[in-house]
């Protein structure tokens, strides 16, 4: 039984639609990896992945062994790439759960090779190249050292090579082009030593723009959830925002002009006012930075948050909403009547990105799925 009205509704049809949009862009001979780290950017990794697989996605991307194991335990058979950094303790899980780790240093290559040798097995890896992100990957110099050692690393199989674009969402493509050039050059070098089944560098923004002639896999994250990366890219795509986040009015109260609302009295009513209290707060992932700043929808009308966002509640001024009633739906992200608040708009109030808004919706908020 669910007693609270705060919930996130995820439309899986939108997920499939967004995947399809990207498939149309990259063409049928190239494949997509569904990036479902951080519990599918807050949407729920497993239902999202199942929807994406139905639409033809062939890889899953995660950021930790824990996330990969969660997929395996749910019966996901897809190849899973651990794209992020990892620690020695995770190595046994790679063979046990058939996880493909990223390989980004010689030290880690030796670690993997030694473990695989002990087990009389081979670990498949995707080699990560540093091309301008400054995060994880072999530099040019490290790569040539790695080549020298490759002959002795018999229990590692390099099944793929990848890198990460830092600026694919920008209007100017100079830096991305530079990264692509570096990537291509290094991939060509690598091809002299080993066959490469999978070559990939693009994230969502890159998926819509990168046609580098060598990539055959595209790592689709935020845009799969229908979140735009930037106006100029996403305008071309007709994305559908998959998440709706809503709650309901729990209490309605009249206050006289000048009445203080919320912790530390940061708001006083400007006139006799109707103030509604809703049961969602920063423990649900609704940022406290939206105190006296955020906007929600009630009866299709934009209404402001007044006072501080509390842990479990906040107050809104509904004085101007005709016929406002107890238990009325309150839309935090989504459409109501003719009005719409997107995660991207909410992110702009917070001076952050839509990624953070959706990832932050906490586990306390139940997710419901529309097939
Ligand atoms: C290595 C890697 N690839 C792909 C992605 C997906 O990026 P996006 O959500 O912008 O598509 C991420 C996300 O941060 C990532 O870290």
pLDDT, tens digit (0-9, with 9 covering 90-100), for 279-333: 999 999 999 999 999 999 999 999 999 999 999 999 999 999 999 999 999 999 9
**Closest listed residue to residue 274, CA positions, set 323, 341, 335, 332:** 323
Average pLDDT over residues 244-254: 98
Q: Which residue in 87, 263, 270, 327 is the catalytic one?
A: 263
Find the 220 Cα to ligand 1 centroid distance in Å: 7
Helices (H), the chain: 12-26, 37-41, 45-54, 65-73, 91-96, 106-119, 140-150, 174-191, 204-207, 231-234, 343-349, 354-359
Q: Is the dihedral of CA 187, 93, 225, 172 positive or negative?
A: negative
User: Options 3.40.50.720, 3.90.1150.10, 2.40.37.10, 2.60.120.10; which CATH number does 243-370 get?
Assistant: 2.40.37.10
Share of the chain above pLDDT 90, in %: 93
**Would the CATH topology of 12-233 be identical to that of 243-370?**
no
Find the 331 Cα to ligand 1 centroid distance in Å: 28
Average pLDDT over residues 155-178: 95
pLDDT, tens digit (0-9, with 9 covering 90-100), for 117-130: 999 999 999 999 99
| Dihedrals phi, psi of 17, to nearest 5 degrees | -60, -45
Domain residue spans of the chain: 12-233, 243-370
pLDDT, tens digit (0-9, with 9 covering 90-100), for 83-119: 999 999 999 999 999 999 999 999 999 999 999 999 9
Taking a C-beta distance cutoff of 8 angstroms, is the pair 208, 232 a contact? no
Find the 221 Cα to ligand 1 centroid distance in Å: 6
Strands 123-128 and 99-103: parallel
pLDDT at 135 over 90: yes
Taking a C-beta distance cutoff of 8 angstroms, is the pair 244, 334 a contact? yes
- Most informative mutation of 26, 205, 219 for ligand 1 (most atoms within 8 A of CB): 219
- Most informative mutation of 164, 167, 207, 344 for ligand 1 (most atoms within 8 A of CB): 164
CATH 3.20.20.10 at 12-233, yes or no: yes
Q: Worst-scoring range by mean pLDDT, 29-38, 94-103, 185-194, 229-238?
A: 229-238
DSSP string, 155-202: TEEEEEEE---SSTTSS--HHHHHHHHHHHHHHHHHHTTS--SEEE--
Please report how the helices 106-119 and 140-150 are oriented relative to each other, as an axis angle in degrees rounded to 10. 30
Q: H or E element: which one contains 325?
A: none
Q: Reply yes or no on whether 37 is catalytic.
A: yes
**Closest listed residue to residue 217, CA positions, set 227, 208, 229, 207:** 207
Find the 261 Cα to ligand 1 centroid distance in Å: 41
Taking a C-beta distance cutoff of 8 angstroms, is the pair 268, 223 a contact? no
Angle at the Cα of 320 from the Cα atoms of 314 and 324, rounded to 5 degrees: 70
Q: Reply yes or no on whether 225 is catalytic.
A: no
Pocket of ligand 1 (CB under 6 A): 35, 61, 83, 164, 203-204, 219-222
Q: H or E element: which one contains 296?
A: strand 295-298
- Most informative mutation of 104, 203, 343 for ligand 1 (most atoms within 8 A of CB): 203
Q: How many CA atoms lie within 13 A of 261 on its CB side?
A: 30
């Amino acid at each position: 039984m669910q007693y609270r009205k705060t919930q996130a509704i995820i439309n899986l049809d939108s997920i499939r639609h967004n995947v399809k949009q990207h498939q149309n862009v990259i063409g049928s001979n190239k494949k997509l990896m569904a990036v479902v780290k951080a519990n599918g950017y807050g949407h729920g990794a497993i239902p999202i992945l199942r929807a994406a697989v139905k639409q033809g996605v062939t890889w899953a991307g995660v950021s930790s062994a824990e996330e990969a194991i969660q997929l395996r335990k749910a019966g996901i058979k897809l190849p899973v790439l651990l794209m992020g950094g990892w620690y020695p303790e995770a190595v046994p899980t790679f063979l046990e759960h058939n996880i493909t780790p990223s390989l980004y240093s010689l030290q880690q290559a030796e670690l993997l090779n030694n473990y695989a040798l002990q087990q009389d097995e081979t670990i498949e890896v995707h080699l990560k190249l540093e091309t301008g992100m400054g995060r994880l990957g072999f530099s040019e110099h490290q790569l040539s050292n790695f080549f020298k050692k490759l002959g002795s690393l018999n229990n590692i199989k390099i099944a793929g090579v990848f890198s990460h674009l830092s600026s694919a969402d920008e209007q100017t493509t100079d830096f991305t082009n530079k990264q692509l050039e570096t990537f291509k050059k290094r991939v060509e070098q690598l091809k002299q030593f080993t066959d490469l089944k999978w070559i990939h560098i693009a994230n969502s923004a890159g998926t819509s723009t990168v046609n580098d002639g060598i990539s055959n896999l595209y790592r689709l994250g935020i845009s799969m959830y229908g979140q735009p990366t930037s106006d100029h890219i996403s305008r071309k795509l007709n994305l559908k925002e998959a998440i709706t986040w809503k709650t309901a009015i729990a209490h309605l109260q009249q206050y006289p002009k000048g009445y203080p609302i919320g912790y530390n009295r940061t708001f006083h009513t400007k006139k006799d006012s109707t103030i509604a209290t809703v049961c969602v707060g920063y423990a649900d992932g609704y940022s406290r930075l939206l105190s006296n700043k955020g906007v929600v929808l009630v009866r299709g009308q934009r209404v402001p948050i007044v006072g501080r966002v509390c842990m479990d509640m906040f107050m809104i001024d509904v004085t101007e909403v005709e016929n406002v009633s107890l238990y009325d739906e309150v839309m935090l992200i989504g459409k109501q009547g003719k009005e719409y608040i997107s995660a991207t708009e909410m992110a702009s109030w917070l001076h952050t990105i839509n990624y953070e808004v959706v990832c932050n919706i906490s586990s306390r908020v139940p997710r419901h799925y529309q097939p």
